[in-house]
Amino acid sequence: MKREEKELLYDFLETARCYLSDGAAARRAPPEFEDELDGPALAARMLSCFRCELSKNRANVVPGAGSASPLVMVIGEGPGADEDASGLPFVGKAGQLLDRMLGSIGVSRETNAFIANIVKCRPPHNRDPEPGEIECCLPWLEAQIALLSPVAILALGRVASHTLLGVSTPMGSLHGTFYEYRGIPLMPTYHPSAVLRDESLKRPAWEDLKAFRDRLAALSPAYRAAIEGK
């Protein structure tokens, strides 16, 4: 079977599986051919994904954006209205705060970070993505992480942290500590939208970022040299 036929067949089966799934289906590894795709090919396949209900009301799929060989992957929950309208992640108020926070530790989507979300299409009225929607969308993110192989991951908020770590610990206990996602150091921290809503989260979010910066500096001499030279 040709690769294109394999992809089409897989998409068909995956779409059917997602429609039939109650979201509790056992997690599985991303299929091999998604692993083999380069970034633009993977993004192109996401743009024609109709695996779940979120695809019906979207203006744009939001695959993610940033460096093609990132030091850091920053993972949020899902697109909001601004992201749905533009097709780009974190461009609204929360995104502007995120950019400022990342900038303060020498990380940016223009240079050394890739920014993505757990789900690639906007949940209506910004509700949490449902387990079945996450289940259908996660293979895209898993393939992105495998492809981009970041040195560290920053997970923003409850949905990203719980999904990637497979836990349901409240953010108050989870944030600021390093865990591992498939061998990659991952730190959960507060979502910038939560920080915008609740001023008291500003300080702990900043403390998290400083710890993230220090771990990155230990893992990457080039990053360390760049931030020390500032």
> Which candidate, 93, 130, 109, 107, places its Cα nearest to that of 187?
107
71/116 Cα distance (integer angstroms): 14
Of the candidate spans 15-23, 79-87, 142-150, 213-221, the one that interacts with ligand URA by CB under 6 A turns out to be: 79-87
> What are residue 45's DSSP bridge partners?
none
Specify whether the CB–CB gap between 70 and 116 falls below 8 A: no
Of the candidate spans 86-94, 142-150, 164-172, 199-207, the one that interacts with ligand URA by CB under 6 A turns out to be: 86-94
Burial of 130 (0-12, 13-18, 19+ CB in 10 A): middle
Going residue by residue from 157 to 196, which x/- string records binding to ligand URA, judged by CB under 6 A? ------------------------------------x---
Nearest approach in angstroms of CB 169 to ligand URA is 19
Residue from 42, 67, 83, 107 in contact with ligand URA (CB under 6 A): 83
63 belongs to the binding site for ligand URA (CB under 6 A): no
Residue from 66, 70, 89, 176 in contact with ligand URA (CB under 6 A): 89
> Which candidate, 158, 168, 153, places its Cα nearest to that of 116?
153
Residue from 76, 129, 139, 176 in contact with ligand URA (CB under 6 A): 76
Site size with ligand URA, rule: CB under 6 A:
12
* 30, two tokens: 């991303």
21/18 Cα distance (integer angstroms): 5
List contacts with ligand URA (CB under 6 A). 76-80, 83, 89-90, 94-95, 117, 193
